[in-house]
Amino acid sequence: MTLKIGVIGTGMIGRDHTRRIQQVLAGAEVVALSDYNPDAARAVQADLAPAATVYEKGEDLIAAPEVDAILVCSTGATHEAYVLAAIAAGKPCFCEKPLATTADGARRIVDAEVAHGTRLVQVGFMRRYDAGYVALKEAVQTRTGAPIMVHAAHRNPTVPEQYLTPMAIHDTLIHEIDVFRWLLDDDYVSARVLFPRKADRAHARLRDPQVVVLETAKGVLIDVEIFVNCHYGYDIQCEVVGEDGIARLPEPMAIQMRLGATLQNPILTDWKDRFVASYDVELNDFIKAATRGTAAGPSSWDGYAAAITSDACVAAQDAEGTTVAITLPARPALYD
Ligand code: NAD
Ligand code: ISE
């Protein structure tokens, strides 16, 4: 069976996911496209999915009888309504991060999915599928001994003027928030944010860089530097310090050069290249589960836990240096 997918939001990642469904992965095809800007949907149709129907409204795409499963790749604030509509239609739905821009919104999705009775939602936390993080998790489980600290960095070369201080949490840190819960098999209990002096390249409405300190229920302390105007490249770093040893996330494969009396290692500049393989694996997982009418991988519960933690981190930005408590409610059995 070929899974017939409708894609809502055909900007950068909606286009890229359409490309991988049409040209890289087996078992699915894009039969419908929709974007707030219809020209964007038509451009993706022309370039990648000529047989797809373009719908003006995402809601109509979700209801369309030819659509078996939905990809929500629109702007974060629009995710909740589309995911709720997909659950109401009983259709599996892959939702790019964040699941919702508030914890209350994510909770509404969890409640709707629990009422439906089976999983329908996968959240686009692709790092769980990255070969480097998978190897790091294996090292933490078998070789480092119990984790004590994590030192991490999420650096982007630059961000647009519309990227404001809270987006460093909702848009950027949210990947670390999810992947460290998964990596450590732990939940957060508090967050604190510290700001050094502002980098010269950061625009007027953005405090950048910043350091977020998260504490987990098992007592692990995690420091993450977020620096979205680092200029030199797209750089994701992670080091886990355990009782017996230290494990580091591998660098992306690259040709090392000895040239002109220097030893050189190239650094990527675009997030699309850094996690290209993991996007393929996460969507393949979605296609396999959606073909069976369900969802696997990062769940609505994970999206909700990330949203609660994000809200606490944004509160911690506002109350610079103060520790903000994080409490997760009881997890419904659907997510055990
Ligand atoms: P983008 O701005 O390039 O694209 C967003 C698209 O959504 C635009 O074409 C816009 O017209 C459309 N849109 C806005 N409102 C809409 C609505 N109500 N209905 C339908 N379409 C609407 O942004 P992007 O970089 O592609 O990001 C999209 C989502 O993907 C965001 O939630 C972002 O956080 C997430 N994302 C995830 C990753 C990742 O690494 N997993 C990377 C990039 C983006
Ligand atoms: C972007 O939306 C992503 O999800 C990237 O993975 C992240 O590194 C970047 O900071 C975000 O803006």
ipTM: 0.98
pLDDT band, very low/low/confident/very high, at 143 (cuts 50, 70, 90): very high
Q: Does the pTM exceed 0.95? A: yes
Report pLDDT for 52: 98
Give the Å distance between the CA of 55 and the centre of ligand 1: 17
Query: Mapping DSSP to helix (H, G, I), strand (E, B) and coil, where does residue 76 land?
Result: helix
CA dist 226 and 74 (Å) reads 24
pLDDT band, very low/low/confident/very high, at 175 (cuts 50, 70, 90): very high
Q: Is 195 in the pocket of ligand 1 (CB under 6 A)?
A: no
pLDDT > 70: percent of the chain = 100
Helix axes 174-184, 131-142, angle to 10 degrees: 40
Contact predicate 143/244, CB 8 Å: yes
Which domains can be identified in the chain, with CATH numbers?
A: 3-127+277-299 (3.40.50.720), 131-268+306-335 (3.30.360.10)
Report pLDDT for 40: 98
Give the Å distance between the CA of 274 and the centre of ligand 1: 18
Report pLDDT for 38: 96
Mean pLDDT, range 157-175, rounded to an integer:
96
pLDDT > 90: percent of the chain = 99
pLDDT band, very low/low/confident/very high, at 227 (cuts 50, 70, 90): very high
Give the Å distance between the CA of 257 and the centre of ligand 1: 37
Give the Å distance between the CA of 97 and the centre of ligand 1: 9
Q: Give the residue from 118, 14, 114, 122 showing the smallest Cα distance to 61.
A: 14
Chain-centre distance for alpha carbon 29: 23
Mean pLDDT, range 71-96, rounded to an integer:
98
Tally the residues of the chain: 336
pLDDT band, very low/low/confident/very high, at 262 (cuts 50, 70, 90): very high
Q: Nearest C-alpha to atom 11 of ligand 2 is from which residue?
A: 172
Contact predicate 287/25, CB 8 Å: yes
Q: Is 124 in the pocket of ligand 1 (CB under 6 A)?
A: yes
Q: What are phi and psi of 47, to 5 degrees?
A: -80, -35
> Which H or E run contains 193?
strand 188-194
Give me 187's structure tokens: 């939940």
